[in-house]
Structure 1
Amino acid sequence: SGPSSTPGIYKEYFNTEKIREHYNYTKEGSESSPTTSRWVVSILIVVLCCFIVLENLLVLISVCRNKKFHSAMYIFIGNLAFSDLLAGLAFMANILLSGATTFNLTPVQWFVREGTAFATLAASVFSLLAIAIERHVAITKVKVYSSDKNCRMVLLIGACWVIAAAIGSLPIMGWNCMSDLRDCSTVLPLYSKRYILFVITIFTLILLAIVGLYSRIYCIVRSSHAEIATAQTLALLKTVTIVLGAFIVCWLPAFIILLMDASCPVRACRILYKANYFFAFATLNSAANPIIYTLRSKDMRREFLRVL
């Protein structure tokens, strides 16, 4: 049965009826009948996504144009802006391909739709970790050769995107619930609950590691000489700490919903049907970061105005 069953498994990935089967099992087909409030939320998210793309594009142009921003720290901020820009595009595509359109998708297309959103979220989390690692190394090793710094920067940014792409690709590569409806998520009906729990666990551990790194950095800066604890260093640290805080505030409700999704039996937690509202709130994070940079940095604000 082994060799003959393999083509059957891959056929399911191109069967549009499979989507309807999973939605009917987990959501009673609720995706096919959008309410007025859902339409309003969808339109607002699309408008917000357009704003996210434009403002993060502004950050990227500013970082590229101004030589002041060619230091490792600002390049990492540019990398975070790039992940936020892609997140805006991914969420927009997700909204435009949801609702009744969902049932016209094959499972492969559905996995691409959701996988890109997960990959951009992972890229944002790993970018925050990369910034924390860079700041820690810069503070603990004040004199670092530029070639080493560039190499470290390329490796960290490269690792961010490779790991993020790998996490987003796991369901399409086989870690899904196509062959076991009982293991299906309510929020994302083709995803395995175990996969969602795995992703949330990874993100939580990374965020705890980031908080630990920043706590250590602040301890080092406070107990160090004035040479290290310059006003600019402290201002930059405060900025990235605010960025981290904004990420946690915006994404915490969505993470809680996904944790409930992983633990609730099918159709037991009705709040899971309202998950879109929590993800809409989480989308605000990608819009918040450029605003934080603008409010916190005179140089960045000046460059934004120049570009505009």
Structure 2
Amino acid sequence: MTAPPEPLDAAVDALYTRPLDGFIAARDAAARQAADAGDSLGAQRIKRLPKPSVAAWVINHVVRERPDDVAALTTVGDELRAATQDRDRARIRALDHLRKERTEALVGAVRQAGEVGGRPVSAAVLDRLTETLTAAVMDADAGAAVRAGRLARGLQHAGFGIVDELGEEADLVALRPAATSAEVQEERPEETADTAERAVEETSAQVDRLEERRDDVSDRLRTAEAAVDDAQDEATRLDDELARLTEERDAAHRTLDEARTAAEEARADLAAVEQELDDAEDRAAQARRRRRAARGK
């Protein structure tokens, strides 16, 4: 019998509100608690949660501390996509200005505070926050992932899609509450005692086999997680070294945003000109027909 989905979801959320240094220990404890409660699937889901980077930890805390500001920002993304589809150039420009304004206001508030959750915020982390908020506006799935407050890495909008702060393809699927038993309950046919007994024996044997496999995989997982933690520490150390490159990267992002806006404007202008051309060709054809008719009289 599995635990209700609400405790699992609450346990996952609680992990992302804890101090970063204690994440691994807290995650393992939450997984054991879920397993002790009989929720083996939930325990596996919790155990697979990666330790957030420093930037992701800060972003998750900002999202939880300022949910209204983040929601207002991602709403701009919905409106931008609608305006782009409608080819409303004036609306696109206004919304892009609003996007930058709200992003800068939110990042500026964090910069002024100088810390999040008691952890000082570096210039490199502020850059990651800006990139992630931009990605949340530009991509609906990224927006949902950011609002969930469970990021393991910061996000970037790379033109062709969303990548994480290491440049790898981002997994935007956030953990959500499992379906309730009422939602998944199905009617089962009646079973005889013999059939039920065989089913118990078969499933018990399968459980034994799977438990052995689980123990083996758990050993491998612990070794892999230790390697992941070492690699994460190294990646975090390199964040500071990458700070000198952020100014050039930010300039490239600004140029990219301006180019996208110009491209959308050009598409809208082209569509308008093509429509005018079609109308003009129709009028010219009508004029030629009237001229032929007039000459035939």
Q: Same fold (TM over 0.5)?
A: no
Quick check: which one's helix share is greater?
Answer: 1
Determine which structure has greater relative contact order: mean sequence separation of CA pairs < 8 Å that are 6+ residues apart, divided by chain length. 1
Structure having the higher Rg: 2
TM-score where L is the length of structure 1: 0.30
